[in-house]
Chains A and B, each alone.
Chain A
Amino acid sequence: MNMAATECLLQMFEEHHELEDYQSGVPRWCTGCGDNAILTAVQRLCRNEDLRPEKTVFVSGIGCSSRFPHYMKTYGFHGIHGRALPIAEGVKMARPDLTVFVNTGDGDCCSIGAAHWIHAIRYNMNITVMLHDNQIYGLTKMQASPTSPIGTKSNTTPKGSYLDALNPLTVTLGVQNVSFVAQAVDWIPESLYDILSAAYHHKGLSFVRIVQRCPEWLPKIHDPAMHDPNRILLLNHERGLKLSPTLAKVYKNQLTHDPLNIDRAREIASSTDPIPVGILYHNPDVPCYEDTRHSGQLRTTELIEKGLNKEFDKVTVWPQDAEPRAA
């Protein structure tokens, strides 16, 4: 597949961007909403990586977190509920030269879009996916989501939710072709940034579940973990993240975990208290769907004409007096 004008364009001069180059509008999220922390981390990432705004696309579905692209001064696609992943896949397939991010919520990804989530992991396209998991439906005003802890009182579950929460990490780690799974919490900005940066640098689908607070509908749910650093389990490894002295000083509950060890990753992922934070799984060698599928041919007018005529030749009935032309 040809990239024609887009990939072939040379960058003639160094570009440098400031934070403001990625900021657009004033976020309309609630004060204390975890989305704000994620937005800040992502804008820092874009600035530090000098991502060209016109070559960067944020795709989202529907929900509080899916407003994300509106606050980025890049290209954005605020789509429909649950379908951020297939839209992003289409963008990436058509234009591998674009940097594609997906912002999706727990309802968007794990409920209405669950089928796409499973298959996005299988496709393993080079996309960074942020699961903004606040464990509740916010925009539609407090209904239990698949990741709400059992017993969560909400407008649709006034007596408390009935089912055990779905664990997005173990589900993701159970799908063939998984290549990058990490978990972050919105209230530790340094590790959130480091994890998103590692996710961005991974070639393949990087899935980052971000445990985030919803001050409006589930204000207290993460208080215990916020107030007790030992309820956070920081993962470190030479192939994963290295902890800064500051972080290591505050969060003493640490585990050296090799991100290539998927069995151990699944074990760690099933823990909800303490909350594991860091890279659970990272395999840089899983092929990307867009690479597998692209034929590598330069798609010229001549190629199309030749291909088409070759197909016509197979089914042509020539007039009696005309000799069949050479194919």
Chain B
Amino acid sequence: MQVRIEHLTKKFGDAVAVSDFSMNFDDGKLVALLGPSGCGKSTTLNMLSGILPVTSGKIYFDDDDVTNTPPQDRGVGICFQNYALYPHMSVLENIAFPLEIKKVPKEERLAKAREMAKLVHVDMLLDRKPKELSGGQQQRVAIARALIKTPRLLLLDEPLSNLDARLRLEMREEIRRIQQETGVTTIFVTHDQEEAMSICDKIVLMKDGYLQQEDKPQTLYDDPHNLFVANFLGNPPINNLYGTIQNGRFVLEDGSASIKIDNPNAKEGEKVVMGIRAESVTISKSGDHDFEAVIKQRYTMGKEELAFLNIGNQVIRVYLSSDYTYDVGEKVFLNLRQKGVFLFDQETGERI
């Protein structure tokens, strides 16, 4: 099912939680609503489920206008951050509960619940109570319960944030697998960019109630529309160098270095931020270079080594090449690749 929202707005009193938000969620895709806390992603999710009434705007499920449809008639399944399992019911009863409400005969609904349990791999835990399960298992049960009534849309609210790091990795792949096996259109809310990047068909990035950019994860990473998007995605975070455009060159704030830029939109004298992905910098000891820098600190991270460098009085994070050894305090030369280097307007944050 395709979900379409048009000019969706939500206000709590005077506070605007979601502002004029329009977009399409394509059929059968796994889409992440990503953003820092308070960006309106959960509010959007709650409006899609019908828990929250909208202030203005429209929500369509395929061609049905469901803006004012009560939650139970929308055909959505939802998983909450705390899983919301009913503590007094067994796993099987929990999963079967939505069908119990629909007055599906007992045999039938239990059979369906067992099938769902198998799908999410909790079929050996059917008689347990929620408090006897691990966080990951509870999450699986919650997903099974959300899926049992074959919803048109599956909503996951921060599904992984209550799990520890290892389980999180495991569960995010599970969510991907289950979503692909069932083919249900899925929207999941998260504040963790890595989570969103790793499993989603599409990411919708929000901030302060406004849509920032929606794209495939790689596109979002490779082609951010503004500084916020560039900063939010990627680990280590993108480097920000502050400077101005002078004579077709980017000049560092303190004037200590400059680089020729090939961007027709860059206006002379404009204050800009140069965003540079860590992997877009090559480091060497000699030869042609864009910048000179001094190594300030080094961090070994197993397979690679990361360093903080000073360029003038600004700091940049880069990967060290394993061809040489570098010492702290040593002067090195940096070259920028074409890819992964962006210019943004300092004032508006927009990409130039």
Q: Do A and B bind each other?
A: no
